[in-house]
Amino acid sequence: MMVNKIIGRELFLNRRDGGEVSTLFYSSHKPDSPLLIDVHGGGFVSGHHYSDDSLCSYLNERLDINVASIEYRYAPKVSYPVATYDCFDALLGLFNDTDINFNRNSIFLMGHSAGANIIAGLCILLEGQINIRGQILNYPFLDAYIDPGNRTKYRFSIPPFNMKLLNKKYYPNKVTRKDPLASPVYMDTQKAKIMPDSLIITCSMDSLREDAIKYANVLKSAGTFVEHIEYEDAVHGFIEMVAAEKIKRVWWLGKSLVNKQYDLYSRAIDKICSFIIERL
């Protein structure tokens, strides 16, 4: 399933405050191919677009589509909603740069954990300005308002204390945590109606699975297409960790559960690819 590392060429796209957003671009061999945007996870405080290189390289090669992996700024240097707007500016920069070849009518968005929060936020900000064919949300964080201590607890899930700390760093103003851009589960029906087709992947051993279920119900109630798939025994972050060969370092899962993540990764990737192919 893995491919050798082929780090995409780095683009520097203009940010609204005059700075730049680093984006790794993996080009398709075919002209006018679709574009898949990837946004990594990390709780808004860590992670890097380089860490998704193996995953982006693999999808670029398997589907022969363009892939762009976007970096964004982290807390505590910045706070909500800076990360989402960094990615929004990068997406607009890619879209408006005619020297970058891809099909402007065939764009897909994919995010992981906090990155999935950003992707859902981009769809809200875009309000149909750009034709997004589908959004792929992997174990998404979509509710910053709920007290982490009130989430259902699962073995190997993110500890409530860590969740509280992450919220405090990126959402220092508690009032903003219920904004739809911060917590897409609270978007209204009008916004939900214009969301693109959605594939939502959750893990049975992840307290964030409840966010995804709430969000899927919001979309379904608005008549928007959504497919929700939960992988039994999957742990939070399994797609990125397996792709980058980091899952082997998660020793506390035990050998059997670590090995299980490889099979779940293969199934999840097949699903992501079929979701994209069906909409080309």
- What CATH number is attached to the domain comprising 56? 3.40.50.1820
Q: Is residue 221 part of a domain?
A: yes
Tokens 């990126």, residue located: 170
Please check whether residue 80 is in contact with residue 170, taking contact to mean a CB–CB distance below 8 angstroms.
yes
Q: What is the pTM for the complete model shown?
A: 0.96
Q: Is residue 235 part of a domain?
A: yes
Please tell me the predicted confidence (pLDDT) of residue 128.
84
Quick one: which H or E segment has residue 257?
helix 255-277
Please tell me the predicted confidence (pLDDT) of residue 199.
98
Please check whether residue 69 is in contact with residue 52, taking contact to mean a CB–CB distance below 8 angstroms.
yes
Please tell me the predicted confidence (pLDDT) of residue 7.
66
Domain around 147:
9-277
Residue 133 CA neighbour count, 13 Å, CB half: 16
Q: Is residue 4 part of a domain?
A: no
Q: Is residue 113 part of a domain?
A: yes
Tokens 């589960």, residue located: 185
Q: Is the dihedral of CA 239, 23, 100, 117 positive or negative?
A: positive
Please tell me the predicted confidence (pLDDT) of residue 4.
43
Q: What is the DSSP letter of 78?
A: S
d(CA 125, CA 244): 30
d(CA 39, CA 183): 17
Q: Is residue 137 part of a domain?
A: yes
DSSP state string for 112-165: ETHHHHHHHHHHHHHTTSS-EEEEEEES----SSS-GGGSPP-TTSPPHHHHHH
Please check whether residue 76 is in contact with residue 169, taking contact to mean a CB–CB distance below 8 angstroms.
yes
Instruction: Kindly give the parts of the chain with pLDDT less than 50.
Output: 1-4
Residue 277 CA neighbour count, 13 Å, CB half: 11
Please tell me the predicted confidence (pLDDT) of residue 8.
77
d(CA 40, CA 250): 19
Q: Is residue 1 part of a domain?
A: no
Q: Is residue 133 part of a domain?
A: yes
Q: Is residue 26 part of a domain?
A: yes
Domain total in the chain: 1
